[in-house]
Amino acid sequence: MVTENLSMGGLYCTSDADFPEMTRLAVRLVLPIKKSKNGDTHSVDVEAVVVRREVLPSNSGNSRYKLGLFFTNVDDEARRCLMQFLD
């Protein structure tokens, strides 16, 4: 999945895999560390549910999907990292 929009409440992404609405997912966000000069990242694990799903048009026959995910469980450490990244 590739995230296009991220907030404290969820994310909007594109995916090669199809997930019907109301599917619960374990999500690992790989966030760049802002002050790192060598491209370091930090992983944040959250739980989410698919609240929106759109099939993207394709000429190749390989379907892609736009998914809206709502975070349902974000622990304190993940919340802190996410807030720091978004700030």
3-42 tens-digit pLDDT = 999 999 999 999 999 999 999 999 999 988 766 567 788 8
CATH number belonging to the domain at 2-86, selected among 3.40.50.10790, 3.40.630.30, 3.30.1490.100, 2.40.10.220: 2.40.10.220
Q: How many helices (H) and strands (E) does the chain have?
A: 1, 5
What are the residue boundaries of the structural domains of the chain, listed by start?
Answer: 2-86
Whole-model pTM?
A: 0.86
pLDDT of residue 40: 83
pLDDT of residue 42: 87
Bridge partner residues of 25 (DSSP): 48
